[in-house]
Amino acid sequence: MSAFVIAHNTFRETVRDRLMAGVLVAGAALLAVTQIATPLALGEGRRLTVDLGLSSISLLGLFVVVLVGTSLVAKELDRRTIYNLLSRPIARPAYLLGKWLGITAALLALALALGGALALLLAWRGWMVSAASLAQGVYLAGLELAVVAAVAVMFSALSTPVLSALYTLGLYAVGQWSDDLRAFAAHFPPALGRIVGALADVVPNLPLFNMRTLVADGRPTTALHLALATGYALTYVACVLALGAAAFERKDFK
């Protein structure tokens, strides 16, 4: 219950931040850029627009996670607003869960807004794209942001905003290459290969959420892929938040 109250407040905090308005403007500007670049795309204007439109959800979402998410808890510690919350009957894990829920809701709203703008642009240009495929692409981009937000919230509870941002960006970058890491592991000596393989398993498997090529081709993905991606995201988020909550539980607020 209290997690939802905190989530509502975190959502309010994120959407009232001027940064969010800036991100929406940047998203619109990116879509406009695709239209300027379309004549240079040799008849691939639709593909370029879809690809960049979906990429903008991931990149601008990541921007919000790094600038807002990684300081979400640290800022409360720094400004001591956390005293007013945790001196109430709120379990610390519920507090972290609420923070994640709130920023995830804001990120999903951002994904929906940018996805909606992309759909409108495609319709205006008369480029036919499968609505189901586009919706699935936006959904998976939102799931990816939810996973990265959980990582950011965990680091934010344990570290300074700058370090949290670095850790989150690092994990995001390695997560984008997790498939390649797994492939590389097979070519390393066995001991090193196991370490690299384990690292690839621990970092978030972000390629699972990437279906930009499919959407650009106008092909929807399978229900199994969607179910697997959803299950993986929820499990990964639960593990990361549990880890963060275990450390946060022992924290002193001096």
Partner 1 sequence: MQIPTSLEPQRPAAGRSPADPAGLAVCARGLGKDYVHDWTRKVTRGLDGLDLDVCRGEVLGILGPNGAGKTTTLKILTGLLKPTRGQAWLMGEPVERTASRRNLGFLPEQPYFYDYLSGLEYLELAGRLSGLDHSTARPRAAHWLERVGLGDRPRLRLRKYSKGMLQRLGLAAALVHEPQLLILDEPMSGLDPFGRRDVRELILEQRARGVTVLFSSHILPDVEMLCDRVAIILGGRLARVAPLDALVADAGGVVEIRCASGHGFELPGECGPIERMERAGETVLRLADGAGVQRVLAALLRAGVPVRAVTPQRHGLEALFLREADAVDAHSTDGAARRSA
Residues that bind partner 1 (CB under 8 A): 2, 5-6, 9, 12-13, 16-17, 79-81, 83-91, 250, 252-254
Q: Minimal distance in Å, beta carbon 242 to partner 1? A: 17
User: Judged by CB, which is closer to partner 1: 93, or 193?
Assistant: 93
User: Judged by CB, which is closer to partner 1: 73, or 151?
Assistant: 73
User: Judged by CB, which is closer to partner 1: 6, or 118?
Assistant: 6
Q: Which of 148, 198, 137, 143 is nearest to 170 (CA)?
A: 148
HEC per residue, the chain: CHHHHHHHHHHHHHHHCHHHHHHHHHHHHHHHHHHHHHHHHCCCHHHHHHHHHHHHHHHHHHHHHHHCHHHHHHHHHHHCCHHHHHCCCCCHHHHHHHHHHHHHHHHHHHHHHHHHHHHHHHHHHCCCCCHHHHHHHHHHHHHHHHHHHHHHHHHHHHCCHHHHHHHHHHHHHHHHCHHHHHHHHCCCCHHHHHHHHHHHHHCCCHHHHCCHHHHHHCCCCCHHHHHHHHHHHHHHHHHHHHHHHHHHHCCCCC
User: Judged by CB, which is closer to partner 1: 187, or 250?
Assistant: 250
Q: Minimal distance in Å, beta carbon 222 to partner 1? A: 41
Q: Minimal distance in Å, beta carbon 111 to partner 1? A: 22
Q: Minimal distance in Å, beta carbon 82 to partner 1? A: 8
User: Judged by CB, which is closer to partner 1: 188, or 253?
Assistant: 253
Q: Minimal distance in Å, beta carbon 16 to partner 1? A: 5
Q: Minimal distance in Å, beta carbon 98 to partner 1? A: 10
User: Judged by CB, which is closer to partner 1: 8, or 225?
Assistant: 8
